Homo-oligomer: A and B are copies of this chain.
Amino acid sequence: MYIFSQSKRFDCTHGGVTKMATIYDVAKESGFSLATVSNVVNGGPRPVRPETRRRILEAVERLDYHPNAVARDLARQRTQTIGIVFGVVDLSEIVINAYSAAVLQAVMSVAAETGYNLTHLMPPWRGASRSLRQYRDGRTDGLLIVAPPTDSDMLPALASIGVPVVAVSAGRQQASVPSVDVDDAYGAKLAMQHLLDLGHRRIAHITGHLNLESAQVRLQTYRECMAAANLEAPEEYQRQGYYSPESGADQMRRLLTLPHPPTALFAANDEIAVGAIETAREMGVEIPRCLSIVAVDDRPVASLITPALTTLHQPFDAVGREAARRLVAAIQGQPAAVETLLFQPELVVRDSTAPPCS
């Protein structure tokens, strides 16, 4: 029977207020010292007489002793925990966002495999002077920064304090910390080349969040490819989206009501393409006959939607796993070169692209 208040734990057997057993209790109960109890509980490193071990383990059992991880972490000066920070604009998009989900997924796997815990650092970055404190508060052995905003001092600040850090999708900011990334410029080139090869000349682009590196690179590559092909990329063909279906639907509508609508769209991600397809359907524009769409990410939706999307397959699983592995290596003291590891995306041609209709 429990009685309650605050954070105390009551012990039914006594009906009184009891604390959880500590290592002191086990030492007293078993008649051995703290050092020996600690050693037995941790399974080493010193040798222990079997009889000693037995008596201590019995005391542990009897008292239902559970070591306190916080005390252990303080004494050991490490937590076996890696912190993950999502640099996306809005917290509400973190997991929904298929990209973040894939990376988180991969990181969790590696953490589980390597015996690390994973904790989310929740508060958004508000500048080095205000946020640095929270990010180096001793709760994590290292930090994984996913898609840091381009306009913040996060990466350089983190790099300067000597905490193990690995960035994912940091783009040009990678200069300051080791990072893992997909070769976005190369991917965007593949996508554009595909449309150009099909014979498209009026190609539009709907961007992602422009304060994310990936969105900037895709936009810039779009412009470069158009220029290299001697094609015009009028302002009204370059629409700002937000990596969401809504923004895709919205901007597609504007593109299709232009005096000279494009014959092809390079969408900054699958979700934008999903929205664009919806709008095209509503407006009776046939895909791919009258409008080709190439996107980026190859999330599950890409092959499920009709028409199935031609899109860049991004190896996010590999990115997440490799980033986590590098972070763990850095935490364990292996010297980490400040370099960027680039994975190459692949173009997956499905049903949303075709030559322009005359």
Given the known A-B contacts A7-B78, A101-B101, are A138 and B69 also in contact in the complex, defined by CB atoms under 8 Å?
yes
Is the pair B91, A95 in contact by a Cβ cutoff of 8 Å? no
Residue of B nearest to A111 (CB): B122
Find the residue from A10, A69, A104, A108 having the highest chain B CB count within 10 A.
A69
Is the pair A112, B105 in contact by a Cβ cutoff of 8 Å? no
Residue of B nearest to A135 (CB): B66
- Near B by CB (< 8 A), chain A positions 85-139 give 91-92, 94-96, 101-102, 104-105, 108-109, 111-112, 116-123, 132-133, 136-139
Is the pair B335, A162 in contact by a Cβ cutoff of 8 Å? no
A81 touches B (CB below 8 Å): yes
- Near B by CB (< 8 A), chain A positions 161-213 give 161-163
Please give the distance in Å from A23's CB to the nearest CB on chain B.
12
Q: Which chain B residues lie closer than 8 Å to A163 at the CB level?
A: 9
Q: Which of B2, B7, B118, B138 contacts A122 (CB 8 A)?
A: B118
Given the known A-B contacts A108-B91, A120-B117, are A74 and B81 also in contact in the complex, defined by CB atoms under 8 Å?
no
Q: Which chain B residues lie closer than 8 Å to A120 at the CB level?
A: 108, 111, 117-119
Is the pair B105, A7 in contact by a Cβ cutoff of 8 Å? no
A5 touches B (CB below 8 Å): yes
A220 touches B (CB below 8 Å): no
Interface size on A, residues (CB 8 A): 62
Is the pair A162, B122 in contact by a Cβ cutoff of 8 Å? no
A337 touches B (CB below 8 Å): no
Is the pair A119, B122 in contact by a Cβ cutoff of 8 Å? no
Is the pair B9, A138 in contact by a Cβ cutoff of 8 Å? no
Per the bound structure, the CA–CA distance linking A198 and B352 in Å amounts to 35
A35 touches B (CB below 8 Å): no
A305 touches B (CB below 8 Å): yes
Please give the distance in Å from A200's CB to the nearest CB on chain B.
25
A42 touches B (CB below 8 Å): no
Is the pair A104, B95 in contact by a Cβ cutoff of 8 Å? yes
Q: Which of B20, B66, B109, B117 contacts A91 (CB 8 A)?
A: B109
Is the pair B95, A108 in contact by a Cβ cutoff of 8 Å? yes
A residues at B contact (CB < 8 Å):
2, 4-7, 9-12, 20, 66-71, 73-74, 77-79, 81, 91-92, 94-96, 101-102, 104-105, 108-109, 111-112, 116-123, 132-133, 136-139, 141, 160-163, 274, 300-301, 304-306, 333, 335
Given contacts A70-B138, A108-B120, 6 further A-B contacts (CB under 8 A): A7-B333, A9-B161, A66-B136, A67-B133, A274-B304, A306-B306
23 A-B contact pairs sorted by A residue (CB < 8 Å): A7-B78, A7-B333, A9-B162, A66-B132, A66-B133, A66-B136, A67-B137, A69-B139, A70-B74, A70-B79, A70-B137, A81-B119, A92-B109, A95-B102, A96-B105, A108-B120, A112-B122, A112-B123, A117-B121, A117-B139, A274-B304, A301-B304, A306-B306
